[in-house]
Structure formats: C-alpha cells, structure tokens
Amino acid sequence: MYDWFKQMRKESPVYYDGKVWNLFKYEDCKMVLNDHKRFSSNLTGYNDKLEMLRSGKVSFDIPTRYTMLTSDPPLHDELRNLTSDAFNPSNLPVDFVREVTVKLLSELDKEFDVIESFAIPLPILVISKMLGISSDVKKVKDWSDLVALRLGRADEIFSIGRKYLELISFSKKELDSRKGKEIVDLTGRIANSNLSELEKEGYFILLMIAGNETTTNLIGNAIEDFTLYNTWDYVREKGALKAVEEALRFSPPVMRTIRVTKEKVKIRDQVIDEGELVRVWIASANRDEEVFKDPDSFIPDRTPNPHLSFGSGIHLCLGAPLARLEARIALEEFAKRFRVKEIVKKEKIDNEVLNGYRKLVVRVEKVYS
C-alpha cells in the first residue's frame, strides 16, 4: 500500500480510476478538506431532503444516512453545535477514562489479546457513560461492526437485517425515555432537540458507534508501532502525547475519506467535472516527503506533526479530543504496568477504509518500579 502511495505521489498524484478521483499529495488532500464549498460532504442528499425530514414526510428510511458526517453547512453546523461542547477537552470525563483503563488492565497478565480485552471495551464504556446508556460491550461492538463500515459511504446500499432493526429500536427506546425530561446526558440532548425522529436516531447511533472502531484501531495500532519501533521506554519517560500523534500519522485508523464536487474544479493539471467523487488518501498525505522529513520512519517526538488522520476543516473529527485522551491514558497506563516481550499473533481487520487489528496477542512482563 505505502509503496503504491509513494509511486502515485510521484507519478500520478491526481488519478481517475474510472469511478473516483484519487488524491495522494498532502497539499491537495488538505486543500479539498478545507474547501467545503467546492468539495461537498452531502453524499446522501441529507441537505436536500431536510424540509421533507423536518415536516415528517419521510418516515421509513435508514437513520445512519442522516448524520453530520454526510452534511454541508448550515445543516452541518446546526448538528455539530448540538453536542460539540461535550467533546471539548475541558468537558471530557478524564477520571472515568482512567478508572476504566486501570480496571481493564488490572485483569490482564502474561499473554492476552489487547484488542478484545482492552482496546474494544475502553471506548465503548466511555461513550456509553457520556450517552447515559447501559454499557453492554458485546452488543455495542456488534452494532459498531455492522454500521461503522458503512458510515460516510455513498456507494453502498444498506441491507436492513435483524441486528440493524434491533439497533434502531434500541435508539428509539433510549431517545423516547428522555423526552420532556431534564437533560443529564448526550442522549437527552439529542432527544430534546429540534431534529426529526429519523435524524435523532441517526445522531444517537453516530455518537454510540463512530468512535468505537476507530479508537480501538488507534490503541491497537499504537501498541504495535510502539513495540516494533522500541517506543515504550520513551513513553514511560516522556508520556504518550506525542507518540500517539506519530501513531496517528504512521498508522491512521481511517485511511481515506470522500467528497463530491459542487462545480468544475482544477487540481494540478487535471480538470474535474461537477458531481464527481474525490477520494482523499489520508494515509498517503501522512507520508508525503514534501511535508514530513523521513516519512517512513516512526519518530515518537516528531514536531510539528500536522497529520490529516482526523481530517481538516469544518468536519475535523468532533471526537478527536476524546480519542486522544483515551489513547494517551490507555498507552501510558499500559506502559506503566507491562513490557511487551513479543507480539504472538496478529490479524488485520478486512476493510479498505478502516485500518486496524481484529486480533493482536501480546506476551508481556510486569514492570516493577
């Protein structure tokens, strides 16, 4: 993959594959992400259907087609503003994140799968707390697998199976139970907003699910990177703040994102028509030799580190501060307790967009200090 990216950056940085325009250079990727007027996120027609939705004319549809991920301003800003303060660093449940981390780690010893025993439950337990829902890790993980891969995709028709219907009825039940009540959690905030019922369900499901897979992958990828590139002693000494940024750059949980052109545009020497799909290769931008010195080396204290792993511009990941907090605490607490002696087994998840491990078994020794 990274050899292909390097070749494309050099030989064909704006490449049409018959369906989609692919961008590989940092400068081009960043330009597209920062220009929401010409490069739209309205991939599912949410902005166009808004009046229909709000007037109750759309009753049966797929709620996850209607989230801020696939919307343009002013709708996007209205949606984002509804919950944005909860994700700002000063309002995050820092103590709870540490509490859950310490509890999960206290149950581990010798040899274990860090994905199943640590990187999956941590983000699920934290977002459950913020939403005020009971934290059934297995159920939420199942739903995350079902939905995460389809979020932000224009090209895939949903098949609504039994599990998806269960997810919708769970979200309806949680939302209904908070209507007209005092707002004490994020679910209450959504339930008592001006959105239509379908949009509320989409919003709730987005918050419950979007950060799970991605944060699991961030933690898993960082554990692998820190092991392969001997970063653990650095983390024990200096903390994980910068090393997490380098893991984000080097092994991004989301490899690419997509926009649609609102008008005819020119990128480098290529003319792209209105209504064309543009694929932004985050993972390639993060290795662009014009921006990052020695891009294929993992440098834990790399400064500055302007990676695009959380995007850029108005859609810059809302959950980024939470993901950073969870990853930093998870990796610092892990480093305090364990020395990774060996990665015993690893299996990548099978997906083109999401990058991480389904299984990452490590053998560890306890750190005595």
- Interface with ligand CPZ (CB under 6 A): 148-149, 151-152, 210-211, 214, 254, 317, 319, 353-354
Contact 337, 343 (CB under 8 A): no
- Phi, psi of 366, rounded to the nearest 5 degrees: -70, 145
Least distance from ligand CPZ to the Cβ atom of residue 332, Å:
22
Least distance from ligand CPZ to the Cβ atom of residue 289, Å:
26
Neighbours of 25 (CB within 10 A): 21
Coil vs helix vs strand at 348: strand
* Chain centroid to CA 97: 18
State which H helix or E strand residue 226 sits in. helix 197-228
Least distance from ligand CPZ to the Cβ atom of residue 69, Å:
7
Judged by beta carbon, residue 317 or residue 360, the one nearer ligand CPZ is 317
Judged by beta carbon, residue 101 or residue 214, the one nearer ligand CPZ is 214
Least distance from ligand CPZ to the Cβ atom of residue 366, Å:
34
Judged by beta carbon, residue 152 or residue 188, the one nearer ligand CPZ is 152
Alpha-carbon separation of residue 98 from 60, 105, 218, 327, 331 (angstroms): 41, 11, 17, 11, 11
Judged by beta carbon, residue 97 or residue 254, the one nearer ligand CPZ is 254
- Phi, psi of 252, rounded to the nearest 5 degrees: -65, 135
Judged by beta carbon, residue 209 or residue 299, the one nearer ligand CPZ is 209
| Strands (E) located in the chain | 14-16, 20-23, 39-40, 111-113, 257-261, 265-267, 270-272, 277-280, 338-348, 357-366
Q: Which residue sits closest to ligand CPZ, CB atoms considered?
A: 210
Least distance from ligand CPZ to the Cβ atom of residue 44, Å:
13
